[in-house]
Amino acid sequence: YGLTVDNLIDLIVVDVNGRVLDRKAMGEDLFWALRGGGGSSFCAIVSYKIKLVRVPKTVTVFRVSKTLDLDQNFTDIVDQYQHVAPYLDRNAFIRLTLDATNSSKTGLTTT
């Protein structure tokens, strides 16, 4: 169902001039800019309203971790994921995260 901002219905914000604005008062341009991230640079968000989605009775959570050597290509993993993702159940929430950590190889580190 996407990110929280994908289900955002309304925001209450305080702008730089101290005005309290909702979606209608701020206008669609600012509302959509706030949905895109970096909202703290436009105003302070006081509250938000989101559209709720139905949660199934059973939820399964698991994590798969894979450690790669520095000379392996991370883009291969992303490419494989992008080829499989369109065929997965639309109700599944799947996230691919790549994290750089310190390498165990002598003389090679990532930060």
DSSP for 42-72, please give it. Answer: TEEEEEEEE---PPPS------------TTS
pLDDT tens for 20-79 read 999 999 999 889 888 876 545 778 889 999 999 888 888 888 787 777 766 667 778 788
**pTM reported for the whole predicted model:** 0.53
Residue 111 has pLDDT above 60, yes or no: no
Residue 17, pLDDT above cutoff 90: yes
